[in-house]
Amino acid sequence: MRRIVPILGALAAATLLAGCSADDQGAVDAALAWDGAAAGVAELECADLQTDWSEDATTRPERCWTFEESDGLPGAFAAITTSFSEAVGSEPTFGPSCAAWTETQRSLGCQARWTVGDTTVLLTSGLTLEWLGSMVEEDPAADILDPTLTATHELTLWIGGEELEEGLDQAELFYTDPAA
């Protein structure tokens, strides 16, 4: 009987761990399946945002979207994060937070992060290179920091383990203002 109790305990622990793994995988699957249309984002191929994010690239986001805003990125990103959190089934472990911004200066990017078991799920936003280029080409060049301009942002989903975690501490120094 003494031998059976540890075996039963080990089996029970393995069952619990397997259940956690299934829940974790379910959250990751939900992140990958998130339909951003309800949050006002349009999906596109990641390579359409940056050519080095092609299908065969080793480092690229899992999915990419774009969205427009003209009344402040933090509010738009907070709404997107709420929709994403509902799909994943949990609140972010970091953020949603944005780079410093004011009513007269646009925020250039935001980030939210979820920890799902040993997996990191990262949602980031920033101005698209195409939009930045179009603003610079205007004559005279537009003030890209003007928060009243309608801006096009990219939204990228990254999923990974330790390799993704490296460097995120630095991001927490940059994204300091809560998205609201």
**DSSP string covering 142-157, please?**
P-TT-TTS-EEEEEEE
pLDDT along the chain (180 residues), means of 10: 34 32 84 90 91 78 92 87 93 85 79 89 90 89 86 92 69 61
What is the chain's length? 180
Q: Which residue, chain included where needed, has tokens 């994060």?
A: 81
Q: For tokens 């994204």, what's the residue?
A: 175
Task: Give residue 6's pLDDT.
Answer: 32
Sheet with 109-116: strands ordered across: 42-44, 63-69, 151-160, 119-127, 109-116, 94-99, 175-178
Computed on alpha carbons and rounded to an integer, the radius of gyration of the chain in Å comes to: 20
165 burial level (CB within 10 Å; 0-12, 13-18, 19+):
middle
Residue 60 pLDDT: 84
pLDDT value for 157: 94
Cα torsion at 70, 40, 135, 132 (round to 10°)?
Answer: 120
pLDDT of res. 144: 85
- Taking phi first (over 0 means left), then psi (-120 to 50 degrees means alpha), and beta for anything else, what does residue 42 get? beta
Residue tagged 């078991």 (tokens): 117
For residue 139, the model assigns a pLDDT of: 87
pLDDT at 83: 94
Give the CA distances from residue 152 to residues 6, 10, 51, 56, in Å, rounded to whole numbers and listed in that order.
58, 53, 18, 26
From the list 125, 63, 72, the residue with the least C-alpha distance to 96 is 125
Backbone torsions φ then ψ of 8, nearest 5 degrees: -65, -40
pLDDT of residue 1: 37
